[in-house]
Structure 1
Amino acid sequence: MAKLGKRMTAAKAAFEDKHNVTVTEAVELVKGNASAKFDETVEIAMNLGVDPRHADQMVRGVVTLPNGTGKTVRVAVFARGPKAEEAEAAGADIVGAEDLMEQVQAGNINFDRCIATPDMMPIVGRLGKILGPRNLMPNPRVGTVTMDVKQAVEAAKGGEVQFKAEKAGVVHAGVGKASFDADKLVENVKAFISAVNKAKPSGAKGTYLKSIALTSTMGPGVKIDVADAVAE
């Protein structure tokens, strides 16, 4: 077993006996122990009482974090004609149709978000096996299949985060950077938790929010008190 470095040992010591803390306490712990040489991402993981293999238990949605993610998001848009021009004007990084499909098929996936106009879906549909596992497939439920490409591009660039439950019923996302002010991180964390809580599917049985943990890219995690997290 690899020996822990001094930084991680110190971080683990700071987290010792810290269980089911408030969102504010969790942010302060994670932020205070993010000591890597780069600006670490603050990440949240929520364990949900759902089985996403059942359609009525799938959790999926989108939330705009009030203080952004701190990440530069590269956006690709499948569109033609005036809508392609609209996407470019809104700041999309890659715009195309069949040519963009060929790039993706060749393994050139240099984007973090994929948007498409409805008429492009026959083309985009061919890429399901490539984009689906990467959670990049455009979907009308989260606003990435739309004629309003300007709004979709601006939202993606402005702090919008998509979430989707994985096979084990876990939802995770980056909710900011360790360099953010603590109060801004708290606002982002609470906004994300609220969005996932509101996305509770009709088929969910028993306890929906089972556990919530916060961590930084290189740091240990701390569990958040669920009752505190969902309190208004």
Structure 2
Amino acid sequence: MAKLGKRLKSAYEGVDSNKFYTLEEAVKLIKSGAKSKFDETIEVAMNLGVDPRHADQMVRGVVELPNGTGKTVRVAVFAKADKAEEARKAGADIVGAEDLAEQIQGGMMDFDRCIATPDMMGVVGRLGKVLGPRNLMPNPKLGTVTPNVTEAIRAAKAGQVQFRVEKAGIIHAGVGKASFDEAKLVENIKAFIDAINKAKPAGAKGTYVKKVSLSSTMGVGVKLDIASVNA
């Protein structure tokens, strides 16, 4: 068995792999173990009792975290004329129409969120094979196909998190940075888990949330006591 490095060995110290911690205890442990030279992302992973291969068990949505994510989000907007100018004034990093589609088809992917006005979906639809696998395809259900580009850009920049369950029934997301104070991280995590609970699909049977764990980018996972999160 490979030996643990000093940093990872230190991270494991004080963490009981068999214990289910309250949210407050877990946040304190994860923050104390995040000792990298960069500001580590705090991540939540949830094991759900769903099979996303069935349409009535898909879990997908969006949540705006109360304290943001701590990440700088670059936003691309498909819009024309007045809406393009509105997008620029609202702080969009990239704005375009057919020209933007050509850039993306050529490999330009320098953005984290893609928004489109409804009239641009004929153009954007041709990019499904490029944007879809990266979870960047604008979608009206997620608020990224909208005539209100100002609000969509504001939400994306303010810490809106999109989520989508993976094949194994796992859903995960970054919910803040290790530099955040504990109370803000607790608020963000509760908001994220609450959004997942509210997104429970009609086809979900039995236990919906099976397991929740918390970790930092370079740290170990800590299991959460689900009851304490929902309290």
Measured after TM superposition, the shift of residue 3 of structure 1 is 3.0
Q: Which residue of 2 aligns with 1:163?
A: 163
* TM-score (norm: length of structure 2): 0.97
Measured after TM superposition, the shift of residue 16 of structure 1 is 2.6
Q: What is the distance in 1 between the residues matched to 2:133 and 2:78? A: 19
Q: What is the distance in 2 between the residues matched to 1:215 and 1:25? A: 12
Contact 2:92 2:153 in 1 (8 A): yes
Contact 2:46 2:211 in 1 (8 A): yes
Measured after TM superposition, the shift of residue 2 of structure 1 is 4.4
Q: What is the distance in 2 between the residues matched to 1:129 and 1:14? A: 45
- After the TM superposition, which parts of structure 1 deviate over 4 Å for at least 4 consecutive aligned residues? none
Contact 2:52 2:167 in 1 (8 A): yes
Contact 1:175 1:189 in 2 (8 A): yes
Alpha carbon RMSD of aligned pairs, Å? 1.0
Q: Which residue of 1 aligns with 2:150?
A: 150
Tell me the secondary structure at the aligned position of residue 9 of structure 2: helix
Q: Which residue of 2 aligns with 1:107?
A: 107
- In the alignment, does 2:22 pair up with 1:22? yes
User: What letter corresponds to residue 134 of structure 1 in structure 2?
Assistant: R
Contact 1:18 1:222 in 2 (8 A): no
Contact 2:49 2:208 in 1 (8 A): yes
User: What letter corresponds to residue 218 of structure 2 in structure 1?
Assistant: M
Q: What do the CA deviations read for 1:79-134 (whole angstroms, capped 9, x no partner)? A: 11111111110000000111111111111100000001111111111111111111
Greater shift, 14-23 or 139-148, is seen at: 14-23
Contact 2:23 2:229 in 1 (8 A): yes
Q: Which residue of 2 aligns with 1:220?
A: 220
Q: What is the distance in 2 between the residues matched to 1:2 and 1:117? A: 52
- In the alignment, does 2:132 pair up with 1:138? no
Q: What is the distance in 2 between the residues matched to 1:94 and 1:2? A: 46
Q: Which residue of 1 aligns with 2:121?
A: 121
Q: What do the CA deviations read for 1:146-200 (whole angstroms, capped 9, x no partner)? A: 0000000000000111111111111111000000001100000000000011100
Aligned pair count? Answer: 231
- Where does the alignment leave 5 or more consecutive residues of structure 1 unmatched? none
Q: Which residue of 1 aligns with 2:176?
A: 176
Measured after TM superposition, the shift of residue 225 of structure 1 is 1.0
Q: What is the distance in 1 between the residues matched to 2:54 and 2:19? A: 32
* TM-score (norm: length of structure 1): 0.97
1:83-94 → structure 2 map (5 Å cutoff): 83-94=83-94
Q: Percent identity?
A: 70
